[in-house]
Amino acid sequence: MRKLTSLLLGLAMAAPVLDAQAIERNWLRYPPVIATRSNGADIYAVGDAHSDYVRLSRVLKAAGLIDDKHNWTGGRSILVVTGDMIDKGPRALDVLNLLNELRGEAGSMGGRVIILAGNHEAEFLANPKAKKGAEFASQLRADKLDPEEVGRCEGPVGVFLCTLPFAAKVDDWFFSHAGNSGGRSFEKLAADIQAGVDKDGYRTKELIGEDSVLEARLDKDGPNGKPWLEERMPKEDEKALLETNAAALGVKHIVEGHKPAEVVFQDGVVRHAGEMFQRWGLFFLIDTGMSEGVNDSHGAVLHISKDTGTAICPDGTQTLLWSAAEKQDVGRAKPCR
């Protein structure tokens, strides 16, 4: 196994220093949302590692993206990480370091690793003293890093976190932590995030809160509450909302992390905790609760190739969730163990 120590060396080499704090982010260099084309390469997505370096590594290896030494073997493939890399587990810095190194290695081979921020990253940056980020803060201090300095976007770890995008579009696929674009175009979403962060930093309602792209659930529901789409529309319009949001973004599919628990759709269909799941080919839930701190599953990767979406477990088991040919209304993969 590659030795992973502090991020100080790896991130310092990979990420240039910001001009100042996050509210003065260079948006041209570090845009809030990014769009790219796969050019025929396979796309992979993984959600919510939550500091579980071991399980994340296993599932990336099963997908053929890394080898035994954790080197990138995905060639020209694109890997999208949908945020929440910290908290709930013991090795947040190792997770960040691994993803950062893979980002550099993939780029040198014509591939790409797109790392998105989740609500845990944004909430830590908004307030490094908050209870939610206490585990991450403790791990930073153990590595002789000051959480408040990281929260001010100082040093390699702070720079890494403060330059992450919040959403990505790859071909016809939209990726974000919590999936809610609010019916906006890709350009409007980018403008609103940028304006909010410029004004309020990471406390902005565009990033965290009930209608945000990173949180998107009502606090009264908590982690086991309804998904954002159920809260926003009448019963018969759930699919229509997804179609409207996808059309505004210029995509056909919306991929979300953030939600590992049971989701009850308004027509009675249930997504069970830990499953990788899709509805109508429109909406893909990829947070499988992989971290030991959650333990709904041992993780899974979504593999997008040739108009199909397949879940890959750490043991190599594959389950077809959706294909353009079959147009499944529901697709699910049992929690990977």
Kindly state the tokens that stand for 210: 């009930």
How far, in Å, are 161, 171, 229 from residue 234 at the CA level? Answer: 37, 30, 9
Specify the pLDDT at position 267. 85
The answer to whether the beta carbons of residues 278 and 304 sit under 8 Å apart is: no
Specify the pLDDT at position 67. 97
Specify the pLDDT at position 122. 94
Q: 143 φ, ψ to 5°?
A: -95, 15
Q: Report the length, in residues, of the chain.
A: 337
Residues 6+ apart with CB under 8 A from 191: none
Specify the pLDDT at position 229. 67
* DSSP reduced 3-state for 125: helix
Query: In terms of CATH architecture, what is 27-333?
Result: 4-Layer Sandwich (3.60)
Q: Which helix (H) or strand (E) holds 113?
A: strand 112-115
Specify the pLDDT at position 6. 44
DSSP structure string for 27-63: TTTS-SEEEE--TT--EEEE---TT-HHHHHHHHHHT
Specify the pLDDT at position 233. 58
Q: Tens place of pLDDT for every residue, the chain, 337 residues?
A: 444 444 444 444 444 433 334 447 889 999 999 999 999 999 999 999 999 999 999 999 999 999 999 999 999 999 999 999 999 999 999 999 999 999 999 999 999 999 999 999 999 999 999 888 899 999 999 999 999 999 999 999 999 999 999 999 999 999 999 999 999 999 999 999 999 998 888 888 889 877 899 988 644 444 445 566 665 656 558 898 899 999 999 999 999 999 998 888 888 899 999 999 999 999 999 999 999 999 999 999 999 998 999 999 999 999 999 999 999 999 999 999 9
Specify the pLDDT at position 219. 42
Beta bridge partners of 311: 302, 319
Farthest-apart Cα atoms in the chain, separation: 53
Kindly state the tokens that stand for 197: 């962060």
Specify the pLDDT at position 155. 93
**What whole-number distance in Å separates Cα of residue 266 and Cα of residue 272?**
14
Specify the pLDDT at position 25. 84
Q: What's the DSSP call for residue 170?
A: E
Specify the pLDDT at position 294. 95
The answer to whether the beta carbons of residues 75 and 112 sit under 8 Å apart is: no
The answer to whether the beta carbons of residues 252 and 266 sit under 8 Å apart is: no
How far, in Å, are 52, 226, 317 from residue 99 at the CA level? Answer: 12, 30, 23
**What whole-number distance in Å separates Cα of residue 226 and Cα of residue 232?**
10
In the chain, where the domains are located: 27-333
The answer to whether the beta carbons of residues 274 and 296 sit under 8 Å apart is: yes
